[in-house]
Amino acid sequence: MMNLTLKIWRQANTTSKGEMVTYPIENVSPDMSFLEMMDVLNEQLINKGIDPVAFDHDCREGICGMCSMYINGEAHGPDRLVTTCQLHMRKFKDGETITIEPFRANAFPVVKDLAVDRSAFDRIQHAGGFVSVNTSGNTQDANNIPIDKHDADKAFDAATCIGCGACVASCKNASAMLFVSAKVSQYALLPQGKIEATDRVLNMVKQMDDEGFGNCTNTGACEVECPKGISLENIARMNREYLFATAKG
């Protein structure tokens, strides 16, 4: 069992001013997930009449992309290839002080405490994150177009992005290039997505810029902190797609 000191960002709502508040917590089991530790803290706060800490979370198995804590200066904390919900307390030491902040970016305003508004990501997807095919029951047979296994696998790897925003939170420019390029790559690699590839990349990049995300300066921090290991290769692929699209006009 461990005793820890938590320094947590508290902010009542988007417009109010926030501050770091310190809470001690005792008897933390190393088998707890980070969010289970937060549950224990909140239960204690509620019983003391203190407003519990708001944080986003849902599936708690690393796939929904809802949890979003910046722990000790890293998106999703010190472990690699995990979301905050899959980070376990065994990664911390007894007596440690843990700093917990929300994902910070101009395009991700704080909703409350550690919860942020990532609807900018949704709006980028509205701009082009799809293949324009209606549901009809008359689409051609799924095996009519064979797809090179390597391309299919690369498309899958890009498609595993969970849209958590760790890439943005980790980037000194708050760039969303890794996120956007993952979707652009998935479709660019598949024959079904190639047809509208030009419009897609132009529209998605425009929306990304309009949302106020920063530029990519190739520091690679996004790839390091990405819980799904989305590769920087995708950014290179999107840049090629974008160049091709602008040249094509």
CA 202 to chain centre: 22
Cβ closer to other proteins: 36 or 96? 36
Residue 240: C-alpha distances to residues 114, 208, 249 (Å): 36, 17, 14
Q: Do the beta carbons of residue 9 and residue 20 sit within 8 Å?
A: yes
DSSP 176: -
Cβ closer to other proteins: 76 or 170? 76
DSSP secondary structure, 64-113, as one string = S----EEETTEET-SSSS--GGG-BGGGS-TT-EEEEEE---TTS-EEET
Q: Indicate the pairing of strand 97-102 with strand 2-10.
A: parallel
Distance of closest approach, residue 219 Cβ to other proteins, in angstroms = 26
Cβ closer to other proteins: 171 or 188? 188
Distance of closest approach, residue 29 Cβ to other proteins, in angstroms = 6
Cβ closer to other proteins: 2 or 216? 2
Q: Do the beta carbons of residue 233 and residue 186 sit within 8 Å?
A: no
Cβ closer to other proteins: 147 or 224? 147
Cβ closer to other proteins: 136 or 172? 136
Distance of closest approach, residue 218 Cβ to other proteins, in angstroms = 26
Vertex 65 angle, CA 93 and 37, to 5° = 30
Q: Report the C-alpha gap between 240 and 243 in whole angstroms.
A: 5
Q: Report the C-alpha gap between 249 and 244 in whole angstroms.
A: 9
Cβ closer to other proteins: 147 or 245? 147
φ/ψ of residue 230, rounded to 5 = -65, 130
Distance of closest approach, residue 119 Cβ to other proteins, in angstroms = 6
CA 111 to chain centre: 16
